[in-house]
Chain A
Amino acid sequence: MRPINSKITKIIEETPSIRTFRFDTSLDDAQPGQFVMVWVRGVDEVPMGCSFKNGITVQKVGDATSRLFEMKEGDSVGLRGPFGKGFTLPAKDENILIIAGGVGVAPLGPLADEAISVGAKVTTILGARTASELVFEQRFSEAGDVHLTTDDGSAGTCGFVTTVLADMDVSEYDRICVCGPEIMMFNVLKMLEEKGVHDRAEFSLHRYFKCAIGVCGACCMDHEGLRVCKDGPVLNGSLLLDSEFGNYKRSSSSQRVKV
């Protein structure tokens, strides 16, 4: 597909470094966890999880995201998608644990919305470096209980999402859905493995995308050759146990780099 010309209708400042952009384009068939390629014309095209059917939530880190942060309502980008495989959809009466760190809230927001709409029960562990960096607190509270954690203790528990997770009885949950920095996700996976429930966990991964449609192989993970753009970005914990996850990834030239 060609990029859909999408006008920015609303910009919401979530934190000093994270903004949500809403568009006049709604990808109605987007499932929680799927992503779009956002073409910032003249700069780059980068993957972003759909935080709404018509929106993305972006952390400013480099060229493309900085250019996005200069844009105003009325400006436009090109959108291609939705691509990839998302989270397993929640069913009525299921008990779901959401673990979100930093901008990792983006694909999990729609999952929480979907869970309430079908009558599933949601508990969220929401982590950030500091209180002002917490995103979607209200949105997750509307879906169920929220446990906040911050690295500096300025809100909720002082520590990491794993600090809260360590004290939980995870066997209560039908599924555990995780997105955040890879080291955080890796520590969660190890903890869940110790408790024997890693196969109930789903992780939304981050790898370098070029084609984003499962052809070029840039995003492939060892040792199964799974394509994060097409077989993922959401992958079951059991697929990640003996993989490169938490250890290394590939740069834009496909050289191995430590995570």
Chain B
Amino acid sequence: MVKITGIEFRNPTILASGIMGTTGASLVRMANSGAGAVVTKSIGPEPKAGHPNPSMVKLECGFLNAMGLPNPSYADFDNEIKIAKEGADVPVIASIFGGNAEEFVRVAEGLADSKPDAFELNVSCPHAEGYGATIGTDSCMVESITAAVCDVVDVPVWVKLTPNVTDIKSIGKAAENGGAAAVVAINTLRGMAIDINSGYPILGNRFGGLSGSAVKPVAIKCVYDLYEALEIPVIGVGGVSTWEDAVEMIMAGASAVQIGSAVHEGVEVFADIATGIEQFLQNNGYAGVEDITGLAHEVI
């Protein structure tokens, strides 16, 4: 059992936003596959079809995606959260986005009825014009949006950060000052791939975000820095595909880990990683995840 921002999770693995999270039924499936909590696809103010395909490719080193925040809008999505809440016996976190504080507030209020256990603010998607990282690289905006959402909801607010900044700590601080209960790090790293036979960028949007094993060292460093700079918990995400990756992320300072791209190998990944962490803790005489959270800061 893990407790973060007042919410209890049966294990420290969480489904990352944008993965199998567009329908209530798929969220339930991920919970049944062993995830300790699930985060929805990021939901915005209007229905959005996203970018043209190809929107995701597996490369030699990781995955590149530019989905373009496709979503049915909060008005259509509250029913999916209700389905998820009814069918899954784990916390359901609503990921939301908007172009400014008013839009974030509108989406959060629109979804409040469906009673998500927390909100995760996406101020970090690297490839949606006017949304995501456009906001998440500006600490003033991050602080004011966080504060605006915290004002209108009565559940914890998590803020998901982009690694595409010079100093992630200052953005994390802004979220904390705005009233965030936790930060989530990291969203994808800006990236691109080109087809050498034709010269065409492969993604429909030309560029997108890198995820998977390739980004793990970047994520570890971001989590390490945020753990040092902030009072609130850090939730680690980026390149976790085995229990060893998860333990590494936790030792860098994460209270829990989110898992995204690794679902590609199989939906059993949550149960496998959760069991692996549990076994590791037992074998080494640790009482729980708290005992190793940030261990890498203490040993030196």
Contact = CB atoms under 8 A, between A and B. Distances in A.
Interface of A: 1-3, 5, 37, 39, 41-46, 76, 78, 80, 209-218, 220-225, 227, 250-256
21 contacts: A1-B57, A3-B54, A39-B54, A39-B202, A41-B200, A44-B204, A76-B198, A78-B197, A211-B67, A216-B55, A216-B65, A218-B70, A220-B25, A222-B23, A225-B20, A227-B20, A251-B49, A252-B70, A253-B48, A253-B71, A256-B72
Contact of A211 (B23, B55, B197): B55
Most chain B CB neighbours (cut-off 10 Å) among A1, A78, A80, A215: A215
Interface residues of B, number: 45
A63 to B, nearest CB: 9
Contacts of B200: 41-42
B184 interface: no
Nearest to B57: A2
A37 B54 CA distance: 9
A254 B72 contact: yes
Contacts of B59: 2
Interface string B26-47: 1111100000000001000001
A225 B23 contact: yes
A215 B198 contact: no
A10 B25 CA distance: 43
A44 B49 CA distance: 13
B72 A213 contact: no
B197 A253 contact: no
Contact of A210 (B29, B47, B70): B70
B279 interface: no
Given A2-B57, A209-B53, 10 more contacts: A5-B197, A46-B53, A215-B19, A216-B56, A216-B65, A217-B21, A220-B22, A225-B29, A253-B49, A254-B41
A9 B169 CA distance: 55
Given A210-B56, A253-B70, A41 B47 contact: no
Instruction: Give the dominant DSSP class at B's interface.
Output: loop
B187 interface: no
A87 B55 CA distance: 27
Contacts of A214: 263-264
A41 B197 CA distance: 11
Contact of B25 (A37, A78, A222): A222
A172 B43 CA distance: 50
B33 to A, nearest CB: 9
B114 to A, nearest CB: 16
B52 to A, nearest CB: 5
Nearest to B194: A2
A222 B27 CA distance: 11
A213 B25 contact: no
Contacts of B63: 215
B18 interface: yes
Contacts of A250: 22-23
Contact of B56 (A42, A44, A213, A252): A213
Contacts of A76: 197-198
B195 A217 contact: no
B49 A3 contact: no
A255 B54 contact: no
Nearest to B52: A44
A246 to B, nearest CB: 16
Contacts of A43: 52
Given A45-B53, A45-B54, A220 B70 contact: no
B3 interface: no
Contacts of B23: 217, 220, 222, 225, 250, 254
A5 B58 contact: no
A42 B200 CA distance: 8
Nearest to B261: A215
Contacts of A46: 53
Contacts of B217: none
A219 B16 CA distance: 18
Top 6 nearest A-B pairs by Cβ distance?
Answer: A225-B29, A5-B197, A45-B53, A225-B26, A211-B56, A217-B20
B264 A78 contact: no
Most chain B CB neighbours (cut-off 10 Å) among A46, A80, A209, A211: A211
B177 to A, nearest CB: 33
Contacts of B48: 253
A210 B71 CA distance: 12
A215 B264 contact: yes
Interface string B48-88: 11101111111100010101001111001000000000000
Contacts of B57: 1-3, 80
Contacts of B70: 210, 218, 252-254
Nearest to A220: B26
B58 A1 contact: yes
Contacts of B218: none
